[in-house]
Amino acid sequence: MYSDKIFTIKADKRNAITNALLTEFSNYSLADSQVARIVKDANISRGAFYNYFKDLSEAYQYLYGLALKDIHSNITHNPTLSSVDFVNEVRSFLKSTEKSTYYHFIQMHYRYNESYVAKRVVPADSQNNIHWAQTVLSHEVIRDSLLQPSTTNDRLKQLSFVLEKLED
């Protein structure tokens, strides 16, 4: 986990670091990323970088957390949505993600870096199997749509079909 020191610095310096991380991780996989480019872009010393982050993985975790918070800000977590409403919510999420400053970062995440981030396992809830299925399927549709945007409409049709079957 990254140091809380990043949150104690002035907003303009933190924004410069965050923007440099976004540029780096939107253009390079974590394996190909370089602290040298980040510190140059953020106009900070290498020592300052390591004062805030232990390594590139921690810097990535920091940015990933910001991205998730940002792109999930408009999501309603309503387990009683109809299949039509749920698919519309996924469609809306994809459109807002496409407009997000984190769009290319999230694409790179799915393409190259997903294995670097610990996957959160949602507790099993036998009372809400449909919601679990909706969540799992929608995340796959989102992932596949971000990796191959040309397939979005077909993926959403698949999701709609399956969710309607689950409602029966």
Q: What is the CA radius of gyration of the chain?
A: 18
Instruction: Tell me what pLDDT residue 47 has.
Output: 96
pLDDT value, residue 23: 98
Q: What percent of the chain has pLDDT over 90?
A: 73
CATH, domain range 4-70: 1.10.357.10
pLDDT one-digit tens code per residue, 44-97 = 999 999 999 999 999 999 999 999 999 988 777 677 788 899 899 999 999 999
The residue extents of the domains of the chain are: 4-70, 73-167
Residue 168 confidence (pLDDT): 76
Q: Which pLDDT does position 122 carry in this prediction?
A: 63
Block residue for tokens 């990933």:
64
Predicted confidence at residue 14, as pLDDT, reads 97
